A and B are shown apart, each in its own frame.
Chain A
Amino acid sequence: MAQSFKEALNSGKFVVTSEIGPPKGTNIENMRHHIDILKDKVDAINVTDHQSSVMRFPSIGGCLEIKEHGGEPILQMTCRDRNQLALQAELLLAYTRGIRNVLCLTGDAVPVGDHKEAKGVFELDSVQLLRAIRQMESGKDMGGNDLDGSVEFCAGAIVTPEANPIEPQLIKFEKKIEAGAEFIQTQAIYDLDNFAKFMDYARQYPVKILAGIVLLVSARMAKYMNENVPGIFVPQHLIDEMAEAPKGEALNKGIEIAGRMIAELKKYSICDGVHIMAIGREEVVPDILAAAGIDNHNK
């Protein structure tokens, strides 16, 4: 990889990130395959941290694989499963292995996942985790003790531009930036007018914003997300477009829509980049980029 994610963010280019989900088990072949597909196509690859509170191979394990394959990882770190000691220890490990990017998340609730009786930790929240990273960078741990060798991370967080009500989310967004977030990856956005309005507000803050692009694979998926996923709003015209795709062509239609949205975001410089979530269809991310007119992104 030519440059670090932080360098890419600061270069002024339209930044592209994507993500992979580690396996449930020790068979990491598919994850490696996804890393191979993505590592030269995007500026950085997020690795999810027991996404939806489903127990999996760890985020840091996926990040180490990305490093070994010459890619640039973003360590997704939730506050759901680790107390202060465990979070900090993992950051120390990550730093020594060349992982330089962390996405700080609160984490999904435990009961939505597959270990419904497990204890949710949540000793920290995402804002406090961002501050903890900045404190560790100053050479002190959260207990105020000196570190023998500190860390340095490009730290980021998320925001949900379509949340209802939006005001409480924006207060938290501002707290994340005050806490030192350098980049924001948004929840999936589909209505570019709404998103442009959010960006009019967000532009006043010194933070890079990557719009979340979730690949649509069917009209049913779009409707499901509208009904069940907080902060996702797929406009009816996109649902219709997916529904009207000829049989067997829905995935291609989804790729076309994602590509079209990315191209528009880039063309009008609406935001600083995109974060593409293909959710199990990572192999089509290069097709989405091609549809967006972004080829050989890192060449």
Chain B
Amino acid sequence: MKSITRQKSLEEVEHQLEGLERVYIIGCGTCATMTRTGGREEVLDMKERLQEMGKMVTGWTVIPTACDDMTEASLNENTGFIQSADCILVMSCALGVQKVGSYISKPVIPALDTLFIGVEDGPGYFHEVCDQCGHCVLGYTAGICPITACHKGLLNGPCGGTNNGKCEVDKEKDCAWTLIYQRLNEQGRLDLMRKYQPVKNSQIVLRPRVTIIS
């Protein structure tokens, strides 16, 4: 499971950096490297782009996993370059941005947008697997998530927009409920699809979401 990210436009990066001339860049060696949005190569490319904008890049690093506790140690190693910067441009998902921000009082600027939590099916092809809805229904849906795989997140079967097993929003995308039907049928478990699924509880963990594991 990975955080799937996309680089913001250079215009937006520049807009966020308004008034901030000295920039330290942080990439991430895990998800953002795999999605080629914030690995070593992209960080070096961003360094050049920033210099073309007239910014001064005080330094850069690629933290192995920006969202874990090792981030603090990595930041400590680079204290000098970070201290001489006006801000930190983080090329990781929002988890890494927030983790970095928790250790540093300087402005922390995201260079990426976090799109979804997904997996890579083939080279460069990622799909969302979990919306973290708080009440898993995969046991009723042959292991295919109707919350993420169905555009409307329907729980009781397909809408009328499905056509030849495809979704009404994109003819290239599979209809989740056609897939669920086929797999339940193969398993001889269509009774699960006939069962009424009640409205989901949208407040299982109240936002801001926090949980304490004792």
Interface residues of A (CB under 8 A from B): 80, 84, 106-109, 111-112, 120, 122-128, 131-132, 142, 158-160, 163-165, 167-169, 171-172, 174-175, 178-179, 187, 230-231
- Judge whether B107 is part of the interface by a CB distance below 8 angstroms: no
Checking A126, A127, A132, A160 against B196 with a beta-carbon cut-off of 8 angstroms, the contacting residue is: A127
Inter-chain CA distance A179–B156, complex, in Å, is 11
| Chain A residues within 8 Å of B158, by CB | 168-169, 172
CB pair B157–A230 under 8 Å, yes or no, is no
CB pair A163–B168 under 8 Å, yes or no, is no
Q: Closest A-chain residue to B169, C-beta based? A: A109
Question: Provided the pairs A175-B194, A179-B196 are in contact, do residues A165 and B178 lie with their beta carbons within 8 angstroms?
Answer: yes
Interface residues of B (CB under 8 A from A): 151-165, 168-169, 177-178, 180-181, 185, 190, 193-194, 196, 198-200, 202
Q: Closest B-chain residue to A120, C-beta based? A: B152
Inter-chain CA distance A112–B199, complex, in Å, is 25
CB pair B168–A230 under 8 Å, yes or no, is yes
Checking B162, B177, B198, B202 against A230 with a beta-carbon cut-off of 8 angstroms, the contacting residue is: B162
Inter-chain CA distance A34–B198, complex, in Å, is 38
| Chain B residues within 8 Å of A106, by CB | 152, 154, 159-160
| Chain B residues within 8 Å of A171, by CB | 157, 181, 190, 193-194
Q: Output the residue of B165, B180, B181 with the most chain A CB within 10 A.
A: B181
Inter-chain CA distance A175–B158, complex, in Å, is 12
Question: Provided the pairs A123-B199, A168-B178, A230-B163 are in contact, do residues A112 and B169 lie with their beta carbons within 8 angstroms?
Answer: yes
CB pair A172–B156 under 8 Å, yes or no, is yes
CB pair B181–A125 under 8 Å, yes or no, is no
A-B complex: 9 closest residue pairs judged by Cβ atoms? A172-B157, A230-B163, A168-B181, A127-B156, A122-B152, A106-B159, A109-B169, A125-B154, A160-B160
Checking A124, A175, A230 against B161 with a beta-carbon cut-off of 8 angstroms, the contacting residue is: A230
| Chain A residues within 8 Å of B185, by CB | 167
| Chain B residues within 8 Å of A125, by CB | 152, 154-157, 159
Q: Closest B-chain residue to A124, C-beta based? A: B199
Q: Output the residue of B155, B156, B164 with the most chain A CB within 10 A.
A: B156
Inter-chain CA distance A123–B154, complex, in Å, is 9
CB pair A164–B163 under 8 Å, yes or no, is yes
| Chain B residues within 8 Å of A168, by CB | 157-158, 162, 177-178, 180-181, 193
CB pair B168–A112 under 8 Å, yes or no, is yes
Q: Output the residue of B155, B159, B177, B185 with the most chain A CB within 10 A.
A: B159
